[in-house]
Amino acid sequence: MGRTASRRGLMTRWDETMNSRDLILQRIRAAVAKMPTMASPPVHEVWPRLQPEAAGMFRQFAKELVSVQGEPLRCGSMAEARQTLAQLAEQSGWTRIGAMERPVCREVVGDLPPERLHFSHPGWPSREMGELSLGVIAAEALLADTGSCIVACPAAEDRLLCYLPAACVVIAQTDQLYEHLPAAWEKYGPRCAEKDLRGEWVIITGPSRTADIEKTLILGVHGPKRLVVLVVG
């Protein structure tokens, strides 16, 4: 009998507690329902879009790229870009050159000796790619605020071409310049959600660099030691 009475007492107190809780919640809901609806505060734009001219974005891009030991070069036409690349290859001793299988890459290497050229293809051995003097890749976008190149790499050989050769030349057009990543996201963001788009995107900001060893800056440890960006237009 004693245990039964104790249990009944606990249940009574539990019911009283729950009733009190429900009553409090009802009062809160009623009070909130009577409150006037407040408009949501405006969302602060972290990266405002000023939409500067291409010339101004290129100056900013070049400044940022030079600050991380990159080399920006402006070419007025694709013919000038072909001549510039051929001169760079001759001056730098780039004898084995790999290029992405892209129309713009095919065009920019047009003045190079065919025997030096190797175009990306499925199953390209990484050891052979590591022996290349230069990798020529195509950018999807250039970010002026950081001097970065965005490169779409749908296949493994595209990604490796960004990392394995000792030097890298990125080809881009002036209409691919953007202030910053949010300004480019409206165009390239939907592509990231495409189910059929395999691979990944690579953001390149200057040549490979590290200061892990006694805080001494060393170039070319994790990727190309030299990065040149040819901006055409």
Lowest mean pLDDT among 105-109, 190-194, 211-215: 211-215
* Residues 65/71/77/83 CA torsion (nearest 10 deg): -170
Range of the structural domain that residue 206 is part of: 54-232
**133 against 193, higher pLDDT:** 133
The verdict on residue 84 lying in a domain is: yes
> What tokens were used for 18?
């729950």
DSSP state of 110: T
The verdict on residue 157 lying in a domain is: yes
Share of the chain above pLDDT 70, in %: 81
Q: Residue 172 sits in a domain of what CATH number?
A: 3.40.50.10420
pLDDT at 174 over 60: yes
pLDDT at 1 over 50: no
- Which residue is it, tokens 């990604």? 159
> What tokens were used for 99?
């290029």
| CA nearest to 161, candidates 139, 142, 141 | 139
Question: pLDDT, tens digit, for every residue of 46-81?
Answer: 777 777 888 999 999 999 999 999 999 999 999 999
CB 152 within 8 A of CB 198: no
> Which residues face 208 on adjacent strands?
none
- For 178, the enclosing helix (H) or strand (E) is strand 177-178
Provide the 3-class DSSP secondary structure of residue 14: helix
Quote the CA–CA distance of 8 and 15 in Å, as a whole number.
Answer: 10
Quote the CA–CA distance of 164 and 31 in Å, as a whole number.
Answer: 65
- Average of per-residue pLDDT across 167-177: 96
- Average of per-residue pLDDT across 33-42: 69
Question: Do 64 and 108 fall into the same domain?
Answer: yes
**10 against 174, higher pLDDT:** 174
Lowest mean pLDDT among 17-26, 55-64, 89-98, 119-128: 17-26
Residue 229: pLDDT band by 50, 70, 90 thresholds?
very high
> What tokens were used for 228?
């040149």
Provide the 3-class DSSP secondary structure of residue 59: helix
Question: Do 6 and 104 fall into the same domain?
Answer: no
CB 137 within 8 A of CB 126: no
Question: Do 158 and 208 fall into the same domain?
Answer: yes
Q: Residue 169 — φ and ψ, nearest 5°? A: -120, 125
- Number of compact structural domains in the chain: 2
The verdict on residue 46 lying in a domain is: no
